[in-house]
Structure 1
């Protein structure tokens, strides 16, 4: 249900375009938000903390790829999802 609402929010060329970078970042962001809420209640759940760090790394790599390939789509995505821009090293 959440995925279908995202497809209507971000217009895409095809319905099958669920493997796009934008959709992957969106689904990872939802997982991050759910895990963050879980960890606020269960502070010593170290397995979930490790999973959260792994998901954050995946999202960071996808966003880095998108910022290299298409800066306009990157800016639009981080504005829609209300996430901070990456630090440049």
Structure 2
């Protein structure tokens, strides 16, 4: 349900499932679904672990995209309404 409603955000030429933007987009959808699941089921520790893994993957992909193409990175961040990761 959520996945189908958010897919039109990505332009047609970027629906390539191997592209970094599509992967970040799909991870963001999974993160939002898991977050809503964990609001109801607070003690689901395996889902919490999976959420942390997906967050790490998305963070690595965002770092890669910011190094390769800063303009596309900024556009994607604004489209998906996510914050920039903290720099250590």
1:60 matched residue in structure 2:
59
Long gaps (5+) in structure 1: none
Please give the per-residue CA displacement for 1:13-64, whole angstroms capped at 9, x wherever unaligned.
Answer: 365x221000000000000000000000000000000000000000000000
2:69 matched residue in structure 1:
70
RMSD value over aligned CA atoms? 1.9
Distance in 2 between the 1:57 and 1:43 partners? Answer: 20
TM-score after normalising by structure 1: 0.87
2:13 matched residue in structure 1:
13
Distance in 2 between the 1:12 and 1:29 partners? Answer: 18
Tell me if the contact between 1:3 and 1:27 (Cα under 8 Å) persists in the aligned partners: no
The structure with the greater share of residues assigned to helix is: 2
Cα deviation for residue 11 of structure 1 reads 2.0
Cα deviation for residue 5 of structure 1 reads 5.7
Q: Does 1:46 align with 2:45?
A: yes
Tell me if the contact between 2:9 and 2:79 (Cα under 8 Å) persists in the aligned partners: no
